[in-house]
Amino acid sequence: MTRFSELGLAPELLDALRDVGYEAPSPIQEQAIPPLLEGLDVIGQAQTGSGKTAAFGLPMLQQVDHGEQEVQGLVLTPTRELCIQVTQALRAYGSRKGVDVVAVFGGAPIRSQQAQLRAGGQVVVGTVGRVRDLISRHSLLLHTCRFVVLDEADEMLDLGFLEDVERILALMPASRQTALFSATMPPPIRRLADQYLYHPVTVKVKAATLTVETVEQFALEVSPREKADALVRLLDAERPDQAIVFVRTKIRCEQLFRVLRDRGLNVKALHGDMTQGARDGVMISFKEGRLPLLVATDVAARGLDISGVSHVINFDVPTSPDGYVHRIGRTARVGRSGRAITLYERRQRREIEAIERHAGVKLAPWVKDAHVAPTPITAPPRRHSKPHVSADGEGPVRKLIVAGGRAAGLEPSDIIHAITVASGLDGEAVRNVRVLERFALVEVPEKDADRVVERVGASEGLRIESARR
Ligand code: AMP
């Protein structure tokens, strides 16, 4: 088992990792951190949930020079959500070192972002459109930037941002270090990598291949505060013969163990901070069936044969789709199928979708006594498909409201452009655009409306929502 301390990371970063409670590097971190620390360019093929943010973020933070206030690192993201998520993560990882991380994204006042950039910003995380905008206003200068990351490059391609990305890269010093992270490598991304990365090292999280057993798979949306209660209800309804509950960190493992124990359940914890003797004791009693319930981190559970277990419960969504396959792929008993239930918070919906694509299953919403067809556990590679919807002019339409109108300088073409670029919808499918003083109205096919709202909302500049009926 590789440790963070073996990867060449500085003490203040290791301390920060201890603060956030990460036990050991995820596979993409293990592979990407050493070459990035050596100064090499890296192509990382990894999905949301793999721990990719720390994989590029830690080496970037390590190379930030305290004494310099200029921009030293830039992370480009396709969406506002990802921008905010990456910023929060980098602030946490860089907290002990005191690195100044600034987020810049569309749909928020540009003035305050300009002020933050004037005040500092050794690392800037930004959406492509807003970064270009700030560059053109001379608020963001990149000639001092030594490290750039393109995060979720295939999403940038899908959203039509690739040319903008190239323009931004062209403004940076040729001697800079570049990392490109993408779940898939369609030809335009390959070409981009060929042109802008220098002898890159490619790292991939390889897909798990496992013996095929069958598992009934469910997911249950919960709010963070009710998670423990939801778990207790779930255990009560499921009455598992033997269950293993997976959590992400040692701290959470210990906390959840206490909660369950205090409710009178026969439960033990298993995590990397326990002595070897204590761990062995827990493993043996679990294996022999004397212990019905175990709360464990992935790493600690690695040595555990859980093939006799009737239930795997993911109290925390696994760090990667592969991790999911690993966790639940071991539940099923020969001749009987196991049950796997994953708890998730609303903001983790994308991680669940990544798991569904990767494992080739749909996780059914969990309700008491629910049964679904047991599914073999495999991990097919994700196919890349650009959303394409043809205009058929038929069927119901939905009216959407765009926040912003003539007063903001919006024209009908801006709205059509934003919708088609973000959602993949044909221009002809976008109808009846009416730009008023403070807002605009537009109609799109009902079947595409949710995606338009989600995609346009997630990209840049425009706030859009369904009109009330
Ligand atoms: P990411 O793929 O970077 O969005 O990370 C997905 C989630 O995994 C985030 O909630 C991270 O905080 C968490 N995470 C990243 N690396 C680790 C690690 N080594 N151990 C535990 N959790 C991690």
Determine whether 425 is exposed, middle or buried from the number of CB atoms within 10 Å of its CB (0-12, 13-18, 19+): buried
CA of 415 to the centre of ligand 1 (A): 36
Q: Is residue 214 part of a domain?
A: no
Pairing of strands 397-403, 439-445: antiparallel
Short-list 177, 155, 153, 175, CA closest to 166: 153
- Model pLDDT for residues 310-319, shown as the tens digit of each residue: 899 999 998 8
Same domain membership, residue 346 and residue 431: no
Q: Residue 435 in 3-state DSSP?
A: strand
**Does pLDDT of 198 surpass 90?**
yes
How far is residue 121 from each of residues 71, 117, 217, measured CA to CA in Å?
6, 6, 44
pLDDT at 287: 78
The span from the first CA to the last CA of the chain, in angstroms, equals 57
pLDDT at 127: 94
Same domain membership, residue 441 and residue 358: no
> How many other CB atoms sit within 10 Å of the CB of residue 110?
14
Element (H, E) at 60: helix 52-62
pLDDT at 22: 85
Rounded to whole angstroms, the Cα distance separating 330 from 301 reads 11
**Does pLDDT of 10 surpass 90?**
yes
**Does pLDDT of 457 surpass 80?**
no
By most ligand atoms within 8 Å of CB, the mutation choice from 13, 19, 22, 77 for ligand 1 is: 22
Same domain membership, residue 226 and residue 201: no
- Give residues (CB < 6 A) around ligand 1: 22-23, 25-26, 29, 48-54, 248-249, 319
Task: Evaluate whether 27 touches 34 at the Cβ level (below 8 Å).
Answer: no
Q: Is residue 392 part of a domain?
A: no
Task: Evaluate whether 219 touches 370 at the Cβ level (below 8 Å).
Answer: no
> How many other CB atoms sit within 10 Å of the CB of residue 304?
18
CA of 200 to the centre of ligand 1 (A): 24
CA of 3 to the centre of ligand 1 (A): 15
Q: Is residue 388 part of a domain?
A: no
Q: What is the atom index within ligand 1 of the atom nearest the CA of 54?
A: 3
- Model pLDDT for residues 252-286, shown as the tens digit of each residue: 999 999 999 999 999 999 988 888 788 888 888 88
The residues facing 76 across adjacent strands are 126, 150
Q: Is residue 384 part of a domain?
A: no
Element (H, E) at 112: helix 110-119
Q: Show the CA angle centred on residue 284, arms to residues 279 and 285, nearest 5°.
A: 105
Q: What is the mean pLDDT of residues 87-96?
A: 94
Q: Tell me what percent of the residues of the chain surpass a pLDDT of 90.
A: 50
Q: What is the atom index within ligand 1 of the atom nearest the CA of 23?
A: 20
pLDDT at 106: 87
CA of 378 to the centre of ligand 1 (A): 23
Rounded to whole angstroms, the Cα distance separating 346 from 189 reads 30
- Model pLDDT for residues 126-185, shown as the tens digit of each residue: 999 999 999 999 999 999 999 999 999 988 988 889 999 999 999 999 999 999 999 888
CA of 49 to the centre of ligand 1 (A): 6
Q: pLDDT class for 391, splitting at 50, 70, 90?
A: very low
Same domain membership, residue 416 and residue 341: no
**Does pLDDT of 438 surpass 50?**
yes
Lowest mean pLDDT among 308-317, 337-346, 415-424: 415-424
Pairing of strands 431-435, 364-365: unpaired
Q: What is the mean pLDDT of residues 81-106?
A: 93
Domain count along the chain: 3
The beta strands (E) that lie in 316-415 are given as 338-344, 364-365, 375-376, 397-403
Question: Which spans in 9-70 are helix H?
Answer: 11-20, 27-37, 52-62
- Between 249 and 205, the more confident residue is 249
Token digits for 367?
A: 């309700």
Output the domain CATH number for residue 176: 3.40.50.300
Same domain membership, residue 430 and residue 336: no
Output the domain CATH number for residue 462: 3.30.70.330
- Model pLDDT for residues 35-59, shown as the tens digit of each residue: 999 999 999 998 776 789 999 999 9
Same domain membership, residue 415 and residue 311: no
Question: Which domain, by its residues, includes 411?
Answer: 397-466
